[in-house]
Structure 1
């Protein structure tokens, strides 16, 4: 089982860098769908990801259709959008024998409207007030990913940190 954070045409290198760091920390695949609003050798992208780039499994896709062709079971594809009645915590992500794909839209325009209308059963949202247009992309990815990981009992992740209490003094 692998979790995937999928970014549709991301524009901001700092968001993608932060998401890459989260992917490295959780052994999550980062799927990037072209076109990107930056080059992957961008300084701000590298700065946000720091020295974790070698630990991130990044898969590039030419377009949305090419990405969808790589998803073996569309049942485990989730579109994260503010245009949904279903909240992300209401969905069961616990199936550990399958890959889960969390697809996030472009920072400015989200996912293509036609695509979302064709896949309303896959749309999930993060509850929030009406005081802001949307949450930051990297925050949204972390929120949804960690709910999935929680439901999967944080499989393959360190659940207990062992440290020397004397070093804290």
Structure 2
């Protein structure tokens, strides 16, 4: 597993047995910061698969993540292959959120070892990532829009996964 120096607490998420959120080569620091805050608040680790389209020390990332950055279970993977090696070692199921998804979010059953993967804001993910996914999930948009903001999509998915795993 190849990680860079930006690593907060990679055990967030695994302590509470919750899924993790992964971002494939994110483009926008503000979205990534918001997702780091989401992960910290929901007890979900966040994996960033590089290269990112911005410097991780960017003020916008720190501003968006605010003081939650230190609480986030952030792990940066240098590239897709290092992420896949880590995922294979940990035996995490990969759940890709995509407009090409075959299963609507509401019909999907989440598991505690899932990694909820979201693509780049500008381009989604390449075919190699689609092929590696264990499931392709769609967030239904009855209003007819093309796509949601990345941070909004991650929040919707994290909320539904958490709801499904809540004690009865």
Is residue 128 from structure 1 mapped to residue 145 from structure 2 by the alignment?
no
Q: Counterpart in 1 of 2:40?
A: 24
Q: Is the 8 A contact 1:34 1:62 kept in 2?
A: yes
> 1:39–1:138: structure 2 CA closer, same or farther, 3 Å change rule?
same
Aligned equivalents of 2:152, 2:107: Cα separation in 1:
19
Return closer, same or farther for 1:10/1:69 CA change in 2, 3 Å cut-off. Answer: same
Match of 1:73 in 2: 91
Number of the residue aligned with 2:115: 101
Find 2:62's aligned residue among 24, 46, 60.
46
2:12: which partner in 1? none
In structure 2, the CA distance between the partners of 1:29 and 1:121, relative to structure 1 (3 Å rule), is closer
CA RMSD after TM alignment: 1.9
Report if aligned partners of 1:18, 1:138 keep a CA contact under 8 Å in 2: yes
Name the TM-score, length of structure 2 as normaliser. 0.82
Max Rg structure: 1
Tell me the distance in 2 between the aligned counterparts of 1:30 and 1:121: 19
**CA displacement 1:91-140 (0-9 Å, x = unmatched):** 111x44xx210010010110112431x24651101011474321000000
